[in-house]
């Protein structure tokens, strides 16, 4: 197996035979909510919080290029050449800043996110905070929760554990501190020195209602940590993509979660779009059909739309943009800006 792409291969291999996706995703969302409530790990709820803390310039990752080639050939009667319409661009995969070389055996579901808040004009691809993988790995009756994230703002010496004081450890040649409490909050946790500063955090715990021994959690957590590679070549596949955005707008964040409105084999996807220096950004996300309201708007890419202005916060829904699910573009910007973004989305064929 290509070690650099293990995470992508794992996700892909397990999609057809994953357990009840709604149950797994519900557990993932509960886990995300729990992490947002933990004050001892201020970076775990990375979504909007870190963006508010230090949003600056960023470059979009793996943005798909439009196909500019034109196909020509003789007509069926040998007459003038026929010109084909440009091919619709494919949805580009999104690059993660590091790769996972090993996961516990089982069926995996995931949420992967990346937030770019520390780039500069000289180094737009070098963020202070990079990315996070949150996985639910099911093996028979046992369900393990795996969290791997960069904490570039937290040196190892400032590591905070949910399960008690840590102890020194060296894994994969990197120094750090670890702690384990299989019977309570935290499970196994380790902070390792990040090659570019700060920490790499790895947490392996049993899902509430499931059990795992302290040694199993420790062995799995250490092995996950030992096999993280930088910078890595792992990618995740969103439900829809961002094409060439209007001038001055960039991708600031993305979240890709398996399942959601596009079905068990698809992905729930969201982006933050803006200058990445001015808040709040525009949210572009796959949505639930039941969230749609407002009045009919202008068609976008052949799809009907709905538009609503709620005290200056505007939302444009593109109906049935991702199979039967809508895509919402929402923010305080002008109506024309929302339509400009919508016109440049890369939707499934």
Residue-level pLDDT at 76: 34
Question: For the residues 16-21, what does the mean pLDDT come to?
Answer: 40
Question: For the residues 266-281, what does the mean pLDDT come to?
Answer: 81
Of 159, 245, 234, the closest CA to residue 203 belongs to: 159
Band of pLDDT at residue 243, cut at 50, 70 and 90:
confident
Residue-level pLDDT at 41: 31
pLDDT, tens digit (0-9, with 9 covering 90-100), for 31-72? 444 443 332 332 333 332 222 222 221 222 222 332 222 222
pLDDT, tens digit (0-9, with 9 covering 90-100), for 143-177? 999 999 998 888 998 888 877 778 999 999 999 99
CA 336 to CA 289: how far, in whole Å?
23
The tokens for 282 are: 């525009």
Residue-level pLDDT at 250: 83
> Regarding predicted confidence, which is higher, 36 or 324?
324
What are the extents of the domains in the chain? 3-59+92-235
Question: For the residues 293-313, what does the mean pLDDT come to?
Answer: 95
Q: Give the other-Cβ count within 10 Å of 10's Cβ.
A: 20
Residue-level pLDDT at 52: 25
pLDDT at residue 326 tops 90: yes
pLDDT, tens digit (0-9, with 9 covering 90-100), for 57-115? 122 222 233 222 222 223 333 443 444 445 667 898 998 989 999 999 998 888 999 87
Residue-level pLDDT at 183: 65
Place of tokens 């790499």: 200
Based on DSSP, count helices (H) and strands (E) in the chain, helices before strands: 5, 20
Three-class DSSP category at 158: helix
pLDDT at residue 274 tops 90: no
Residue-level pLDDT at 184: 64
pTM: 0.71
Question: For the residues 312-321, what does the mean pLDDT come to?
Answer: 96
Residue-level pLDDT at 130: 76
Band of pLDDT at residue 336, cut at 50, 70 and 90:
very high
Residue-level pLDDT at 166: 86
User: Are residues 7 and 98 in contact, defined by beta-carbon separation less than 8 angstroms?
Assistant: no
Band of pLDDT at residue 277, cut at 50, 70 and 90:
confident
Question: For the residues 4-27, what does the mean pLDDT come to?
Answer: 43
pLDDT at residue 245 tops 50: yes
CA 248 to CA 232: how far, in whole Å?
29
Q: Name 336's Cβ contacts closer than 8 Å, sequence gap at least 6.
A: none
> Regarding predicted confidence, which is higher, 321 or 70?
321
Residue-level pLDDT at 88: 66
CA 292 to CA 294: how far, in whole Å?
7
């Amino acid at each position: 197996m290509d070690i650099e792409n293990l995470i992508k291969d794992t996700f892909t291999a397990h999609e057809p035979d994953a357990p009840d996706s709604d149950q797994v995703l519900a557990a993932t969302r509960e886990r995300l909510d729990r992490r947002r409530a933990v004050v001892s790990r201020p970076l775990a709820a990375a979504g909007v919080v870190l963006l508010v803390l230090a949003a600056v310039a960023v470059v979009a990752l793996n943005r798909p290029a439009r196909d500019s080639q034109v196909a020509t050939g003789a007509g069926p009667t040998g007459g003038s050449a026929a010109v084909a319409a440009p091919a619709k661009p494919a949805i580009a995969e999104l690059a993660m800043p590091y790769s996972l070389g090993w996961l516990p055996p089982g069926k995996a579901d995931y949420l992967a996110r990346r937030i770019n808040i520390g780039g500069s004009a000289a180094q737009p691809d070098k963020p202070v905070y990079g990315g996070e993988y949150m996985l639910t790995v099911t093996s028979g009756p046992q369900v393990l929760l795996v969290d791997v994230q960069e904490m570039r703002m937290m040196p190892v010496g400032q590591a905070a554990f949910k399960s008690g004081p840590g102890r020194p450890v060296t894994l994969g040649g990197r120094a750090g501190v670890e702690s384990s409490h299989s019977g309570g909050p935290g499970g196994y946790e380790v902070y390792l020195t990040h090659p570019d500063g700060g920490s790499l955090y790895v947490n392996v715990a049993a899902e509430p209602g499931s059990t795992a021994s302290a040694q199993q959690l420790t062995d799995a957590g250490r092995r996950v940590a030992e096999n993280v590679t930088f910078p890595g070549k792992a990618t995740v596949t969103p439900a829809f993509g961002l094409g060439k955005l209007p001038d001055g707008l960039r991708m600031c964040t993305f979240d890709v979660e398996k399942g959601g409105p596009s079905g068990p084999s698809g992905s729930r996807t969201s982006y933050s779009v803006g200058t990445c220096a001015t808040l709040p950004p525009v949210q572009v996300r796959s949505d639930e059909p039941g969230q749609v309201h407002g009045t009919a708007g202008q068609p976008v890419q052949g799809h009907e739309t709905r538009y609503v202005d709620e005290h200056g916060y505007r939302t444009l829904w593109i109906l049935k943009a991702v199979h039967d699910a809508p895509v919402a573009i929402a923010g305080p910007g002008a109506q024309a800006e929302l339509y400009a973004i919508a016109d440049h989305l890369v939707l499934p064929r």
